[in-house]
Amino acid sequence: MSAVPLIQLDEVERVFGAEAPVHALRGASLQVASGDWMAIVGPSGSGKSTLLNILGLLDRPTAGQYRLAGTDTGPLSDQERAGLRSSRIGFVFQSFHLMAHRSVAENVMLADVYRHGSRDDRYERALEALTRVRLDHRADYLPPKLSGGERQRAAIARAVLTRPGLLLCDEPTGNLDTATGAAILDLFAEMHDDGLTIVMITHDPDVAIRAGRTASIVDGTLKDAA
């Protein structure tokens, strides 16, 4: 018997508005197995972010079905979706979203605070996550004192603190120079080798090529995702 996909989308639609509807996603179907690294490539306005929001349980499809690790997410309440999201999914964004007045370690610990995790050894676990991304030496720094690459490493440490099975990345190298972006992709490759499933959206084919699988999205239509 084949394993249940970690992600399974079946004919997912997302329409915004009623009088002049915008079809952000059109019949999107996708399977991502546990341990995959997939890049979804498309220009601005293609539906990439809408797709990522649905995968991250931040938005609901207008039609179609989304199963996460075999669970049909459609009937779930907002509270159930939040619980599933906090236990299974980590997020890395283009803009880092670090709190400037809190230390790097405190920013990482916030991932556990938001999911109401145990306070026991929270700082030690944050240091472990920072060590994983080779940033433990900056644990007590404030984010404005870090380089762009260091800020993204801090954001990645925060995303993996709770040991999610799925990492969703929204243009993770978009604010970085080429060399720093390549170093971040090297870090993703290490985490993927350790078994982490990664879905990354990007407009840059040179970034996408680092992933094991690629798909394209244009005008809300997902292609080459088999």
Give the pLDDT confidence score for residue 1 in this predicted structure.
Answer: 42
What share of the chain in percent tops pLDDT 90?
Answer: 76
Q: List strand residue ranges (DSSP E) for 104-206, in order.
A: 166-170, 197-202
Q: For the chain, give percent helix, strand, coil, nearest 5.
A: 35, 25, 40
d(Cα 212, Cα 111) in Å, to the nearest integer?
Answer: 28
Give the pair of three-digit tokens for residue 19: 């009088």
Q: What's the average model confidence in pLDDT over 86-110?
A: 92
Question: Domains plus CATH for the chain?
Answer: 7-223 (3.40.50.300)
Q: What's the average model confidence in pLDDT over 171-198?
A: 92
Residue 150 sits at φ, ψ, to 5 deg, of -65, -40
pLDDT band at 115 (very low <50, low <70, confident <90, very high): low
Run of H or E residues at 11:
strand 7-16
